[in-house]
Structure 1
Amino acid sequence: MHRYTEAQKEFIKKASPGRYNDEITNLFNQEFGTSLSVCQIRSFKAKHKIKSNVPRNRVKPDSGLFTKEQKEFIKANVKGVLNRELAELVNEKFNLTITAQQMLTYKKNHGLTSGVNTQFKRGQEAWNKGIKGLDLAGENGKKTQFKKGDQPQNYRPVGSERIDSRDGYTLIKVKDEGLYQDRWRHKHVVVWEKENGPVPYGCVIVFADGDKRNIEMSNLLLITRNELVRMNQQELFSSDSKLTKAALTMIRLGNKVIDHELYGGDRDEFQKHIETAKKNGLSEQTFITRLKRGWALSDALYKPLHSRPYGRKVKS
């Protein structure tokens, strides 16, 4: 363990502000001819509560895209030179491959400006004035360009079908125009809608036997999303369509019992209560959960979140 003299202690106190521990260590060893380590200097500073007040993330002079010498060269030559020209100068002098975009980014990050005004002047003609399009492909390129009215080789006519590689559903093309999801639709939905009209809001079409390729009307079931959730939660979908339909009937009967317990069969009146709850900042699920737990209607509607119903016993 090194025993510090008063002169050494005073030296560390004066040398610490604005310097990192390795810098202080080098100065100390040069001054007193010692061979202390950085850890020893750090321990001494911590014990005597001496701080350097330097950034935690140390930035070295040669860190980043350029070395210190290269940074000084850029700073000395930035005025009156375009980014492309400055990049070429740096590349030529230091054998680098810096692009104009990298030079632009570096200048922005370090507050450097060239002073060159590259904006269009009033009355200045555009370089492509009078040119109809850009012939960048050349004569050979024109042979493979699409002409107006041409169709790509992978064009599929309306009525074409394919299997979606993501989920295995059969897709059918219903029209040529519009977005992809408008042009290609799930075939089982199209088949059901052809017989029954648009799928009602909040409902989906499922396969009674679970086979996505069996798109017969007798195998397609219209169910609500609430019923879908309950069927999935209880794992009631079966490869036997009869069992699936029986399970769906059971779920629907259970929902009717719950509905009757909640609002006595008057769905319209209950919907009004839901709207009132939403206006009071409650979600539909929170409101229904409160009723299922035995809350009075007035409490379930108007008490704020995280409240308890009146009359509930609190453990002492």
Structure 2
Amino acid sequence: MFRYTSEHKDFIQKFAPGRYNDEITNLFNARFGTNLTENQIKNFKSNHKIKSHVPSGRATGREILFTKKQKDFIVKHVEGRSNVELTDLFNSHFGLSIKVSQIKSFKKNNRLSSGLTGRFEPGRVPFNKGIKKYWIGGEDTQFKKGHIPKNYMPVGTERVNTDDYVDIKIADPNKWRGKHLVIWEKHNERAVPTGYVVIFGDGNRRNFNPDNLILVTRGQLAIMNRRGLIQKDAELTRTGILLADIYKKIGEKKRERKNEK
């Protein structure tokens, strides 16, 4: 039986409004490294009287969870852009790694169209062929070489993302990364290995002291979240990692004995 912590409950209460159970489940598992089912989330909501207030009908097909701000961004920029271009623009703006298929699914479910045919008809001559300048006026308001937009954010700028983590801009034009990851990698002089994550030892996402940033496997994190082993003290959390390994070993032994029967 999965043991929910107060952090789990607060997370579900925060993200439940306006979202379907499968969306909440995907968010929850991504955030805590768990493997809960949609039914488990549904039962938790029911037991704690948490309501999503979503309509019973929904568009067919699955789309990732977008915030209202992100949905508005897609609607505003969909026209005249291919799915790849729109996805790149979206990820650059929000510092995410959304797939092209997910943007495509969102457009389909919300009946959005770029207005592009996706092909260049045979025999068609580009309208600007042989023309160096095809507009009249406007030079005074055009971006000059080296122009910096008013909303430009320099490398090193920090922001808080939708999951309440601090991101830091690491490169232009708009490449962002979790500040805790940047600090851990700089301190340890290596990249975070595949299959690992960096957690805050005391649970405080604003404490970027290198001693508070702990590297764990996704498997360890899943067990720690399930067992409530992430404490408000980094040393206790490190002890929790050892316990997580023990729980994992016990589980493996139980499965081996079960398979032998």
- The bucket for the TM-score relative to the shorter chain is 0.3 to 0.5
Bigger RCO (CA 8 Å, 6+ sep): 2
Larger Rg: 1
What TM-score results when the alignment is normalised by the length of structure 2? 0.47
